[in-house]
Amino acid sequence: MSDLLVMKFGGTSMGSAERIRVAARLITEQSARRPVVVVVSAMSKVTDLLLDSLRKAEAGDQADLDTNLEMLSARHRECCCGLLPESRQREAINGVEALIAEFARIAKGVMMLGERPPRSVDEAVAVGERLSAYLMAGHMESEGMPAVAVNAAEVIATDAVFGNATPLMDATRTRAAAVLRPLLDQHKVPVVTGFNGSTLDGRPTTLGRGGSDFSASILAAVLDAAELWIWTDVDGIMSGDPRLVSDARVLPEITYAEAAELAYNGAKVLHPRTLAPLAQRGIPVWSKNSFAPEKPGTRILPSVDAGHGPHAVTSMTDVALVSMEPASSVVSGTRVMARALDGLARANVEILAFTSSSYRQSFCFLVRQSELERAREFLEEDLALELVHGYLKPIEVDADVALIAVVGEGMRGTPGLAGRIFTAISRHDINIIAIAQGSSELTIAIVVRRGGLELAVRAIHGEF
């Protein structure tokens, strides 16, 4: 393993000229000691603005599209002026305008088509990250720190699932060696765009919202990095979402498995797929605050001294509970379950939690609301005969629910925790709709009414 450090800066850490200056100083400090690869997100809110612009284009709304493009341009031009000496500003602004023109060209195509083909969307939204990589590298160069902006479409190879692509690690390793190693050998800092990649035949892709964390972990893995530092706007990974739990505290150390459980169950601080490439190679990760770099942050490791009890509670809204139940004993519940799961797999719908009862053979599962319609379509088609003949009760959907996950290695084999969690919730008169605990005992997932979510999260956090 090399001494290479990968540093990722999120949207707020790249959110203004002042923030980019701070980030550049953090990079400079480290690159004086060891080779560094930087991964950057788009400036905060820029990805939302780009996606909104494409929707405006699809709707044929030229005036609103122009307003958005002007906002995009003004924000990045202002940043150029705040970051660069006057002698370099003209050229940098031209570079910014050229990238925005690329976006505008795709938006125009979307307007003419009256639709947003997923691959055009991926090509277009990556412009946000390309702008911030361009600004960061330009600023570093102007401060005498050799840096080169790199479009991750040249580095990260993925499958062709536009909007949520999966990396092809071997091909990415080859590309990274060809593109990034020579820069490192010349003592230049590659500033790579987060979020995007491309298929083997060169079509642009993205890794899903919040995907820059994942980009950084993919690069850390294929470059055999010594560490990955993820710079964000909070002091590390916390025992609860700081927006919900005012007394949430920073966790000094957690395991890959805990971090992955938290991320999969809604903790926005990490993209859910970030941990897998690192865990395989045991590369340590730090989550750190670029607004308070002196604070230690959270270290994510293969194992930690777990103690007894949960480490953190997280939650997810925008989910829906789907319930299914055979209406007749002629139908095997297990077979219905198997076919339902098969349908969901083919629909590419992720199951967030699953529970079943053995006697009535009913079962329910939680999915994202964004995937609900697709799930329902596949289920109703696959089980059409059973539904029509009344062997299966109509599929029930409850979208007024939320998921809470209580996570911790220390929950394994510790009796009484579930009881304390449920008592804490019930003190607030909140009804539990469904419960799931995997046999790893790492996570207890609880489904409650959406309206009771905040109170329940605080009650559980307070209890532990």
Q: Which residues bind Mg ion (CB under 5 A)?
A: 10, 210
How far, in Å, are 118, 153, 270, 312, 408 from residue 303 at the CA level?
39, 34, 18, 16, 12
Q: What are phi and psi of 207, to 5 degrees?
A: -100, 15
Binding mask 117-136 for ligand ASP (x = CB under 6 A): -----------x--------
Alpha-carbon distances, residue 50 vs 47, 104, 215, 309, 320 (angstroms): 5, 10, 20, 43, 28
Phi, psi of 401 (to 5 degrees): -130, 170
DSSP assigned state of 431: P
End-to-end CA distance of the chain: 39
Q: Contact letters (x/-) for ligand ADP, 156-195, by CB under 6 A?
A: ----------------------------------------
Contacted entry of Mg ion, ligand ADP, ligand ASP, none for residue 233, CB cut-off 5 to 8 Å set by kind: ligand ADP
Indicate the residue whose CB is closest to ligand ASP.
Answer: 212
268 binds ligand ASP (CB under 6 A): no
Tell me the residue type at 447: V
In 3-state terms the chain splits into helix, strand, coil percentages (rounded to 5) of 45, 20, 35
Residues of span 196-215 touching ligand ADP by CB under 6 A: 210
Cα(115)–Cα(298) distance, integer angstroms: 43
Q: What is the CA radius of gyration of the chain?
A: 24
Q: Which of these segments, 39-47, 308-316, 321-329, 399-407, binds ligand ASP (CB under 6 A)?
A: 39-47
Calpha distance 271→276 (Å, rounded): 11
What does 263 interact with, of ligand ADP, ligand ASP, Mg ion, none (CB < 5 to 8 A by kind)? none
Residue of 194, 310, 408, 410 that binds ligand ASP (CB under 6 A): 194
Quote the least distance from Cβ 269 to Mg ion, whole Å. 7
Q: Does 165 participate in binding ligand ASP (rule CB under 6 A)?
A: no
Q: Which H or E element spans position 445?
A: strand 443-449
Quick one: what does residue 47 bind among Mg ion, ligand ASP, ligand ADP, none, with the CB cut-off 5 to 8 Å set by partner type? ligand ASP
Collapsed DSSP state (helix, strand, coil) of residue 67? helix
CA 10/CA 390 separation, integer angstroms: 52
Helix (H, G, I), strand (E, B) or coil at 241: coil
Please report how close the Cβ of residue 10 comes to ligand ADP at its closest, in angstroms: 2
- Residue 213 Cβ vs ligand ADP, minimum distance, rounded to whole Å: 6
Chosen residue from 41, 172, 217, 290 binding ligand ASP by CB under 6 A: 41
Selected from 105, 243, 281, 308, the binder of ligand ADP by CB under 6 A is 243
| Selected binder of ligand ASP within 4, 6, 11, 230 (CB under 6 A) | 11
Question: Minimum Å distance from CB 220 to ligand ASP?
Answer: 15
Contact 131, 99 (CB under 8 A): yes
Task: Please give the C-alpha separations between residue 274 and each of 246, 264, 269, 287, 300, in angstroms, as whole numbers.
Answer: 26, 10, 11, 12, 11
Among 138, 190, 211, 343, binds ligand ASP (CB under 6 A): 211
Among 23, 26, 41, 147, binds ligand ADP (CB under 6 A): 41
Binding site for ligand ADP (CB under 6 A): 10-13, 41, 210, 232-234, 237-238, 241-243, 262, 267-269, 312, 314
